[in-house]
Amino acid sequence: MEKRRPKLKRLPINHLIPNILTISALCAGMTAINFAARDMWEASVFAIVVAAILDGLDGRVARLLNAQSKFGAELDSLSDFISFGVAPPMILYFWVLENAGRIGWVFVCFFTVCMALRLARFNTALEDPDKQPWENNFFTGVPAPAGALLIMYPLVLSFMFGDDFFRSPAMACFFLTVIGGLMVSRFPTFSFKKAKVPAAYVLPVMIGVGLLVAFLVSAPWAMLSVIGAIYLVSIPLSFNSYKKWQRRAAAGELDEEDDAEIEICEKED
């Protein structure tokens, strides 16, 4: 009697969608490097923006489809490192730092090392049993996609105001150093994933999102500059908010309702 071949294990296509988004983000990051090597600066920045959008979607889609997995979490972290830790500093290197000699490469490596440390720390922090629920309202340091977009701020500004001031090795090195330092710092920054919209404000928020998309399409570089400026302003505000939560927790003012409203997030970006 002929032996029947064992059936291959099959997965529902829904379980593959989050990983497909993650791989797409990785490819977008690699494509950004390709664009930069051919002096296609606007296309390279756009590719990083696409990678950030896809990276923000994969975790949410995984939770909606109940498709979270250890494999997906590891793949997401590796994709983040390439798309946000390697591609953006390489874009700056091709744009202006290649002319700075060895010192330019040192700053590129510095940012990439900071990104690797930032992602490693985040992955280990997920297993911290002493972390309080309210602390999930905040990231420790600037998250990976935000850091990647912020170091390209001089490049985006040069699209609007020209290269005379912003296309400078000193400017690029300054952003690589400061943003890299913020990523590995203990400085709390808002995790906007926990933001909730009251039912009465859903319609105005949707209208605002529509206007935001319209501005991004019609004036993308101006809008990205405004978003970057708003995020930078939010960093000191997040520190004050963190201290308020800390004081409330120390005084025992947090109740079960506060904790119930905080969703513990398993993926970062």
Please state, for a pLDDT cut of 90, what percent of the chain lies above it: 42
Q: What is the pLDDT of residue 2?
A: 55
pLDDT exceeds cutoff 80 at 160: yes
Dihedral sign from CA coordinates of 118, 124, 130, 135: positive
Residue type, position 161, single letter: F
pLDDT tier for residue 130 given thresholds of 50, 70 and 90? low
Model pLDDT for residues 67-95, shown as the tens digit of each residue: 788 888 889 999 999 999 999 999 999 99
Least confident of 101-105, 118-122, 260-264: 260-264
177-226 pLDDT, tens per residue? 999 999 999 888 888 766 677 778 888 888 988 988 888 888 889 999 99
Mean pLDDT score of the chain, rounded to an integer?
A: 84
> For the chain, what are the domain ranges?
84-260
Cα separation, 3 vs 11, whole angstroms? 24
Tell me, what's the pLDDT at 143?
A: 92
Tell me the C-alpha distance between 208 and 130, whole Å: 38
| DSSP code string of 70-103 | HHHHHHHHHHHIIIIIIHHHHHHHHHTGGGGTHH
Average pLDDT over every residue of 231-248? 86
Q: Looking at residue 261, what is its pLDDT?
A: 47
Q: How much is the average pLDDT of 95-117?
A: 93
The residue count of the chain comes to 269
Angle between helices 87-95 and 153-161 (to 10 degrees): 40
pLDDT tens-digit readout, 38-70: 999 999 999 999 999 999 888 888 888 887 888
Return the pLDDT at 256. 46
User: For residue 210, what are its two tokens?
Assistant: 């529509």
Name the most confidently modeled range: 140-144, 176-180, 213-217, 249-253: 176-180
What pLDDT does residue 54 have?
Answer: 92
Q: How many CA atoms lie within 13 A of 19 on its CB side?
A: 16
